[in-house]
Structure 1
Amino acid sequence: MTTPSTSTQHDLSSGADWIACEPAEVQKSFLDELGEDEILALPFLFDFWAMPHQLPPAGNWRSWVIMGGRGAGKTRAGAEWVRACVEGSRPLDPGRCHRIALVGETLDQVREVMVFGESGILACSPPDRRPEWHATRRMLIWPNGATAQAFSAHEPESLRGPQFDGAWVDELGCPAVDKGTNQPNVFLDPKSSESFLPAHSNGQRDEVIQMQYLRAMLGYWRAAENNPVSSVYGGPMLDMARAFVWAWDARPYPFFPANAGLWGDAPNYARGHWVTGRLSSRSLASVVREICARAGITSQDTGTLHGLVRGYAISQVTDARAALQPLMLAHGFDAVERDGVLRFVMRRDGVAHPVPVSALVDLPESPPRPQHSRAAEAAMTGRVRLRFVQSDTDYPAISEEAVMPDEATHAVAASELPLLLTRAEGRQITERWLAEARIARDGVRLALPPSLLHLGAGDLLRLEGDATGAAYRIDRVELGAAQLIEAVRADPGVYLPEDEGASIRPTLAPLPVFPLFLDLPLMTGDEVPHAPHIAVTAEPWPGAAAVYASVTGQGFALNRTVAQAAVIGVTQDALPAARPGLLHARDAFTVRLTSGALSSIDLPTLLAGGNLAALGDGTPDRWELFQFASATLVAPDTWRLETLLRGQLGSDALIPSVWPEGSFFVLMDGRPEQIDLPLGARGLLRHYRIGPAWRPLDDPSYIALQDSFAGIGLKPLAPVHLRAAAQADGALRITWVRRGRIDADAWEAPDIPLGEETESYQLRVMQGVGILRELTLSTPVWTYAATDRIADLQGGTVRIDVAQISARFGPGFRAVLTLGA
C-alpha cells in the first residue's frame, strides 16, 4: 500500500440480512436448495453472517482498524479474519498465512478473549478445522500446520525473531477502577456474563489509575529505544500515531453518562474504560507542580501525591500558598520542607513510626513523659457544609453536609472550594473534615532525641506501650538540643474514597404549570383544618413547582414547594348524582389524565380508604370526594372508572345533580399538599403566584391567582336521618343524628365525638328563599307545633333545614326535609 487510506462500509448487507428481509416462501426455498453439507457449513461461513463493518476492507491495505462500541463484534471479526488467513479450501490445505501473531494487553487477555472467548478463534472454528491450544508454547496449531502465537504488549522484545505473515492486535485501554492495571481488559457490567473486576480490586472508582496507565503505555512506546524503526518499510514497530484507546464515546459528555434514563449503560461509566470527559482532567501532582513552578519554587517533590483534579478555578491573583490550600483541603495532603526541598505528602499514605517512651528526652522546657491534651468539646464543630461544582453532570453548584450523629446543635461550619468534584467526593470531604476535627482533639507534646531527627513535620508516630495504639501526626517541631514535638491524633482510615453516579437536570422550556386549590373536609384528621390543598401538574413536569403568597399583591414570599406532579384529569362524560355511602357497582365515567396513571384495587382496600379522589368544577370549595375500585385504560392517558363510592367524608352535601363533561379530577394520593395559611387569614382574599420552582418569581411562566378559603375542614358535616313524626296533638317531632368530623369512625365508643366546643344546631323553616322561623337548639330534636305548622303551610310547601354550629366556622352543611300541606 503506497498511501494511507480509510475504508468505508461495504455496499451490500450480509446474506443473513438479505434472507431475513425476504418473504417466508423465499426463505424456505433458499434452505430447501442447500445440501446437507452446505447446511452444516452455513453457521461457519462468516461472510454470510457478518455485518458490513466486520469484514476486511477491499484493497492492498497494511493495517485494518475496527472502531466500535461494546457489542459491535470486534472480537468475532478479528477471530474470523485470522481463520480466513490460515485456512485453505479444505481442512489440510494451506492458507495465505502460515504464522499469525496474537497481541493483547496481557497474555491472559489473549487467552481468555482472543482464543477461548465466546467470540474467540476456537468458538468460531468448525470441528474439522479447529486448532489446538498448546499452553506451554502459548500457541494455536491448525490441522494444516498454521500457527498463531500469543504475545503480551508488555513484552515487546518477544516479537523480535519470529517471522509472521499477519497479526491480530487488540486495542489498549484501562478501566477507571481500583487496580485497573492488574487486568486492563476486564469490564464491570452487571448486565453481562463477562462482568469482572480486576484482580484484587476493591471496586472503587479510580480515574487516576486509568490516567497513569495511558501515560505509561503511550510514553513507553513513543520512546525510540522501545519502538525501533523497521528497515523494511521505514516505520516504527508500533505506529503510535494509529494507536487507539478504548474508548471514546460519540455520545456527548456530560449527557452521557448523566442521562441514565436514555442510555442503559450509563451506570457503567464510573468504573468503565471511557476516556470521554476524563481526558481534560489533570493529575493532582501535575497541578501542584505547575503552581510551584509559577511561584518560582524549583525544589519540590510531588512523587507521592495521588489524586485527580477535574477542574480548579483560581479567580484572582494570589500566592502559591493560597492557591495550594483548596487542593490540600480537598485531597488531604501536607506541604513540609525537608533539606531544602518542599515535599508534598498524602495523609492517607502515612505509616506510623514506633517511638519507645524510654527514648524520649527529659529537658527543662519539656515534660519527662508524653504530655497528652484534649481540646474542649465546646470548641468542636458538629456540622460541616461544603459548596462546590458537581462534575459528570451539567455543572451545578451544590452543597454537601455532614453531621455527627450525637450533634444537637444547629450551628454549621460552611466552606466553599472552587473545585469540580463528584457528589460522593464532596460528601467524603465533609465527613473527613468532621472526623479529623474530632480525632484531632487529642494532642501530645514530647521531646525526641537527635537519633530520631529523621522524623519531622507531617510524619506519623506511635508511642510504644500506649494502650490506645493511637497514631499522631507531627504538626510543629522546635529544633534545639532535642526536637520538641507537638502532634495531633490522626487516622488514615478517614481518607478512604467513595463514589456514586450523577444526573443531569432535564432541559425544559419555562412553561406554565396548572394549579388547582381544593378546600376539602378532613380526610385523615391530621390535616390543618382551615388550610386548603393545592394540586399542580404540567407536561412536561418542571421538577418542582413553587407557590408564592402575598396579602396585597406585593412582597410575595415562598409558601410551599410542590415536589411531585399531582394526578389531574378532565372528565370525558357526565356523572349524575348518586346516593352517598353506597357502593355503586354500575356507575362509571371516563377521565383523561394530564400525567400519571391509575390502578384498580380490591374491595377491602377500597373500604379501607383506597383510591380516594376529588371531583369538582375548579373552584376551591366545590369538590366531591369519592372512591373507585376499578380503573381500566381505554385509550392513551384515558381511564374508565367503575364501582364508585360517592360523597365520602362529608362531601355528600356538595354533590350536584350532575357533574358535567369537563369537570376536574384530582387523585388524593398524598401528592396534593396543604399550603400554609394563618387561621386569621381564613375567608380573606390573598394573592398567589405559582410556577416552575427553578424560575424566578417574575418569570412569565408564573400564573397569578386570587382566592379566599372558607376552611371547609372546620365546617360541621350535614346531620343525617332528618325525620318528622306526627304526635297525638297534631304537632310534628323533628329529629336528626349529628355527624362528627374528627375520630368518628370507631365502633367501640357509645357515641361519636362531638368535635365542637358545645353541641348546638341551627334550625330554619324556609318557604322559597324566605325564612319563616329560625331557632338555635342544643339537642337534636324540635317540636313543630300544629298551629305553627298550619300557619306556615298556608303559603305552600315548606322546607326544614338543620345545620350543626361550630364556634369557629358557624353553621355547617345543612340537611333538608320538605313538608307539604
Structure 2
Amino acid sequence: MATLLLSAAGTLVAGPIGGAVGSLIGARVDSHLLDRGGNREGPRLSDLSVQSGDYGAPLARHYGVMRSAGTLIWSDGLRETAHRSGGGKKSGGRTTSYSYSASFAVALAGRRIDGVGRIWADGKLLRGAAGDMRSGGRVRVYDGSERQTPDTLIEAALGPGHAPAFRGLAYAVFEDLELADFANRIPNLSFEIFAGSAAPETIVEDLGAACDVEMSASRLTGDMTGFSAASHSALKDLLGVLAPIVPHKVLASPVGLHIAGPAETKAWEVSPSDLVGGETIGERRRDVRSAASGSPGILTLAAADPDRDFQPGVQRSFRVGARQAGVRHIELPVSLHAGRAKQVAEACLRRLWDRRRSGELRLPFHHIHLAPNDAIRLSDGSEWTVTGTEIAGFTVTLSVEQRVGAGPQTPPAADGGTPRVEADIPQGETVTRVFELPPMDGDPDSSIRLRIAAGGRSPGWRYAEIWASLDAEESWRSIGVISTAAKMGRVSAVPMSADSSFWDMQSSVIVDMLDDQALENASRNAVLSGANLAKVGDELLQFCRAEEIAPRRWRLSELLRGRRGTEAAMATHVEGEAFLLLEPEAIMPFDVPLDRLGGTIHIKAAGPADSLPLVPVEAVTISGANLRPLSPVHIHMRRGADAGLNVCWIRRSRRGFGWPDHVDVPLAEGRERYRLRLSSQNGTAEYLVDEPQFALSAADQIATFGAPVTGGTLAVSQLSDLVGDGPETVFEF
C-alpha cells in the first residue's frame, strides 16, 4: 500500500521514471508503515470472547453493534459481608453465612462509543437492555469522551488527584457486584456495545487515523451490523478482514491512500497493438483452472449473529460438483444476520473459483502507471485485475487474474440455527409480604420468628435482597436474598365459615394471582401430610383442588379450614385480602429477640436494579405469634346442685400438632396457667387458674356480681411467661 502511495508521489515529481523509483522505495517502507514488525494476523471473532487482564492487551475499536469482552483495568478486591440468622439452642443456634462482592473497572473500547446495552456474565444475562441488573450491584458506563472525569469510586479508592479519567477510553465500572452466582469470583463479562456507524467508509477512515495513515474512502458497499478491530494488527490485515464483506481496492492519491469500491474501479483498455510481440493473454497465461486443490469445494464463514445474542454463527457455501476439493474456514470479527453471512460466504467461494484463471501480459513502458489492484479490459471484453508488476528493459510485465462478476444482491435464505438466548424481561416491581404465623414445625422456642416472602408481577422477576432496620430506620442491614418468587395474590371471593373438624366441601376461595405461576392439585393424603397450606387473610387453610378459571384467576376448593389454631379467623375474611401459598423454599425466616416484642421492625426488599433509599418500607409490629399458646377447645359448663358453675376445657399445645403418642400433648410452656373472663348482665370478672377447669360457687357469684349468673360469656385463654396471653376461646351460655 505504501508502494502505491510513494509510486504516485514519485510520478508527480519526476514522471514515469520517478514513479518506478518511488515504487521501489515504497516497497521497503511498506512494512514499517502498515505492517510494523514481523508476521501478524488480522483480528478474529475469538478475540472478542474472553475477558483479559493482561498489561498491554489491545483495546478494541468497535463500529456499529458488537458483543465483546473487555480488559480488566482496576479492581478493589473482594468485599466480605456476614449474614446472621437463627437464635436459641432449640432452633439450631445462630447461623452466620458470608457473601462476597467486588468493585472493578473493565475497558471496553479504544474509541468513543454510544453506549452499552445488555451485559452477560459467564454467558448468562447480567443486565437487560432496560438497565435492570440480574445480580446485586451497580454499573456505570463511560463513553470514552475526551471530557470524561474520574469515576468517584476509583477516586475514593486511589485518593483525590490520583484516579485517571481514562479519556479516550470507553469503560464500565462495577460497584459491589454480588459474586454468589459466579463462584465468588469476577466473572467473564461481555458487553453489547453500540459504537456508532458500521458504514464501511467510517470504518476505513477511522482505522487509517488510528494507524497514522492518511486514508480516505468512498462508495464502498457491504452491509454489516458491526465490526471490531480487537488485536495488534497491521492496517493491511485489518483491511484484509473487511475484504470478504466490503470488496475494495487500494489506490494512491497525492495526500495518502484511497480505498475504492467496485463502482469506482476504472478498467484500463489494452488493445492488441499494446501487447509486446503481438501476444495474447491466451498464449501467455498460466491457466490454473485445472488446479482444483487451490480452491475449496466448501467454504464456512463464522461471524457473530445478532439474532442469537451475538453468539458465533456459521454459514456454509458449497460448490456444485466440487465438494471433495476441500474446506476453507473464514472467521471474521463482524456481526452479520444469517442471510447476510450466507451471502458473504457464497461470494467468497465464487471469488476463489473465478480468480483461479491467471496469466501474464507484457506491455510497453507507457503502461508503467498500472499497479496492483488496477483493472484492465482486453479487446475480447474480458476484465482482469493486476496482482503484480515487474519493470525490465522498458517493458512492463503484469501478473493478472480474471475479475469476479457480481453475485446476487438479495441475501439468500439462511438458517442461523435455533437460538439459545436468554429472555431479556425486566424484573419489574418487587411485591413483599412480611408476616408472622402461628407456631409452625421448626420454629424457635425462645425467639420471635418473622417471615418474609417476595415476588413480582413481571415474569422476569428473579430475586430481591432483604434489608431490616431495628432502630427506626436509622440504619439498615442485609439479612439475605429471596430468589424464589412466592405464589401470592388477592382474594376476590372469600370462603364462608365452616367446621374446622371436617373437610369443607361447600366453600371455595377465588384468588387473583400476582403472576403466571400455577397452583396445583393435591390428594387428600398429601394435604393431610402438609401440602397446599396457604395463608388467606389471617386464616391458614389447605386445599385439594386448584382450577384456573381465567388468566391468573384460580378457584380453590375441597378445603381444610382453621389450620394451626386459626379457627377464629374464619369469620374475619374480606374481599381483597392477601393470599400466600406457604412454600418453605419461597419464604425467608427472620428471628428477632424477645425484647423486640411489641416493637416495630422495618423491612425493605430491593431488586437488582432498585436504589435502596427509594425502596418502599414495610413496618411490622411484632406480636410473637409463633410463641403464643393456642386457644383452648371443647369448653363445657354445667351447674351444680347448689347453682354453682363448673367449667372444663381441653388444652392445646403449640408443640403438639403431630400428636406423637396419641395420649396427650406437651405443655410447651414454662407452667400451665389460664385467664378466664366471665361476663354477665351485671358485669365482668377475671380469674387465673393453673389447670383446665374452674368452679364458681353460688356464693361467689353473688359476692362478685350481686346475683347468681344466669347467662353471659366465658372467654378462656392460655398464658405464656414469654409473650403473655394466647388467643381466647369464647363460650356463650
Structure 2 length normalisation: TM-score? 0.45
More strand, by proportion: 2
Which structure exhibits the higher relative contact order, with contacts defined as CA atoms closer than 8 Å and separated by 6 or more residues? 2
Structure 1 length normalisation: TM-score? 0.40
